[in-house]
Chains A and B, each alone.
Chain A
Amino acid sequence: MGGISRLNYFKQIFEKGPIIILFISVFNEFDFNYLDLKYFSFNFPFILIYYWSLKRPGSLGYGLIFLSGLFNDAVVGLPFGVSSLCYLLICVFSTYLRNITLRPNLIKDWFFFGFTILVVNTMMYVIASLFFEVKIIYEDILVNILFTFLFYIIFSNLFDYYQKLVFGGTTNA
């Protein structure tokens, strides 16, 4: 009996995996800044939120996504609420795609993700620079968008594997 309840306990933790990873990634920006790479950065929370909102929306609560955005602003130093708005807009885009898609296709999801992060980052840039007068280098955002877009395909495959392992490949969309 003890073995079964322990198994259930682990299963529950793995089911909460996406939200745990989201909070870890928000608190511990995967920036690799110590490698001193001038033109390299990507936004892992964008990939994670888009993928899981699209494939398994129940695994990331909107309230928790909102909260993780506030924490991200605190850690990174962006105006309070900017990241939350970006994360929630990604949810809107992915939910819209889920609503209009009959047969899911990785390439379509990927390109729609590219469009989504373009819109969301543009909005973030506009709010930060015009509304809060925080200067941001435009080229840095473009590099960030490019790598986030390219990395989606890698993380998407990893998350697919995780999903099959933990949820048995079923979706709750």
Chain B
Amino acid sequence: MEPSSRDDFVIAIRSAFLKKDTKQKFSLLALILLTLTILIFARYDFRFVKFAKTSLNEIAYRSTFIFSAPENFVKTTYTETKNILFVYNKNKILEEKVKELDSKILETNYIISENERLKKTIDDISYLSDEILAKVIVDKQSPFLKSIILNKGSKHGAKLGMAVLDEKYLVGKIVEVNFTTSRVLLLSDLNSKIPVDIMPNGTLSILSGTGLNHGIIQYVRDQELIENDQTVYTSGAGGLFKSGIPVGKIEKNLTDNELKVNFYSDYSQLRYVKLVSFKTEEE
């Protein structure tokens, strides 16, 4: 009796899973079962998987930093060339902005001192912050997830949930801490959601990442009050970040009423960032 095509299929599949070539030490089936076991243990946060992951992360992040050196060189050269080409036009715009900002600084200094005085009067919470300066060692933003790796970990005092600032602007929060490295989930990531305050109206809402280079405002009540170029700050709700950290500017899409947030920082150009944790004066 001749074997049927179904038998051929079964033989080919069985051979693919179980047969080891002379140069292979493991069969595919054994490795797939091992991977599935790791996935299940990782899902339920088993301690030894966590430990293995942390060790592997340390090796992977450092290796990526070395392997990325040539590409980073190309990237830096490309960005610098682009900057040089547009330097004249940028200078003109910046000169105008400097004039405008000079006048605003005086105004802001007055408001800050007035705000501190008023806070003391009403016994509001004042925040103190611990700052750690960190270098971005990997910014391989995969097509699916937007995150960066920093060269500071638990050894240097980095903790889960710490805010990550580029100068004064919020760029994300720490979601994974290893011994000497940590991962930051950028605000642009689809999984990022933070409570924000849209000024000057003081509208509270949620800023969600889109996976692209901007965020969107969700769950907002008075949408018609929000206009183009209004500033988005952290609201401090939930106690994760302090209130008033600038995030970006509103861009209102008139056709579908979508509220886009253009971030102040360019996430593809992050070199050094600050890790900040906030605590009240009493703490």
Contacts and interface: CB of A to CB of B under 8 A. Distances in A.
Interface of A: 24, 27-29, 31, 33-34, 36, 38, 41, 57-58, 61-63, 66, 69-71, 74-82, 84-85, 88-89, 91-93, 95-96, 99-100, 127-128, 131-132, 134-137, 140-141, 143-144, 172
B143 A144 contact: yes
B142 interface: yes
Given A27-B60, A75-B64, A99-B16, A84 B142 contact: no
23 contacts: A33-B139, A33-B268, A34-B268, A58-B24, A63-B25, A74-B61, A75-B60, A77-B145, A79-B39, A79-B42, A80-B42, A80-B49, A84-B35, A88-B31, A89-B32, A91-B28, A92-B16, A96-B16, A99-B12, A100-B9, A132-B43, A136-B145, A137-B211
Contacts of A140: 143-144, 211
Given A76-B140, A85-B39, A92-B17, 18 more contacts: A29-B142, A31-B140, A57-B23, A62-B31, A63-B26, A75-B140, A78-B142, A78-B144, A80-B42, A80-B53, A92-B32, A95-B19, A96-B16, A128-B144, A132-B43, A134-B145, A136-B190, A137-B190
Interface of B: 8-9, 11-13, 15-17, 19, 21-28, 31-32, 34-36, 38-39, 42-43, 49, 53, 56-57, 59-61, 63-64, 66-68, 71, 75, 78-79, 138-145, 147, 176, 183, 190-191, 211-213, 268
**Top 6 nearest A-B pairs by Cβ distance?**
A74-B60, A58-B23, A41-B143, A95-B16, A27-B67, A81-B38
A130 to B, nearest CB: 11
Given A79-B42, A99-B16, A74 B57 contact: yes
